[in-house]
Copies of this chain bind each other. A is one copy, B any other.
Amino acid sequence: MSTAINTLIEQWKQAVVAKDVEQIVSFYADDIVAFDAVTALQFKGKAAYRAHWQACMECCPGPGVFDFHELHIVAADDSAFAHWLAHCGGSGPDGVLKTCWMRVTAGYQRINGQWRVVHEHWSAPFDMETGTGLFDLKP
C-alpha cells in the first residue's frame, strides 16, 4: 500500500510542477477537506479547493523548486496517511530565486478501488512573539 501512496504523491507532485490544475485535483476525493498554508482556514470539497489552486497558479509564477524530503507513509488496506517536508520556491520579477520549507500532512482513502487524497494540510510555523511566518527555517 505504501508503494501505491508513494506513486500517487509523485504523480501529484509532477502535476503541480506542470501547473496542471485538472491533473492536480484529479487525485482529490470529492469531499476533500484541505487546510492550505494560505488565505483560508479550510477548503471544503474538490470544487472549492480547485478554485483555490486555480487562483494560486494565476497569481504565482509556479514552483521552480518543489522537492519533497523526509517522506513518511503509514498505510493500511484502504486508508493511509503521510507527512513530509516540502522545499518550495520560485523566482520573482527580479529573477532572484526565493525558497522556503513547508510542512505537509495528507490523508488517503481507497474509494471504489482508487486511492484518493481525502485530506491535505500545508503550513509554515509562525513566530509566537510577532505572529509572522517563519520562512527561513531549514530542516
Which of B40, B76, B121, B137 is in CB contact (< 8 Å) with A121? B121
Cα distance A80–B77 in the bound complex, in angstroms? 12
Chain B residues with CB below 8 A from A126, complex form: 37-38, 124, 126, 132-133
Q: How many copies does the complex hold?
A: 2
Which of B79, B101, B109, B123 is in CB contact (< 8 Å) with A125? B123
Q: Interface size on A (CB < 8 Å)?
A: 44
A119 in contact with B37 given A103-B42, A131-B135, A132-B131 (CB within 8 Å): no
- Whether a CB of chain B sits under 8 angstroms from the CB of A33 is yes
Q: Chain A interface mostly helix, strand, loop or mixed?
A: strand
Which residue numbers of A lie inside 8 Å of B, CB to CB?
Answer: 33, 35-42, 59, 70, 72, 74-81, 83, 85, 101, 103, 105, 107, 109, 118-119, 121, 123-128, 131-135, 137-139
| Shortest 8 CB-CB contacts between residues of A and residues of B | A123-B123, A76-B76, A35-B103, A81-B81, A105-B121, A41-B137, A38-B128, A105-B105
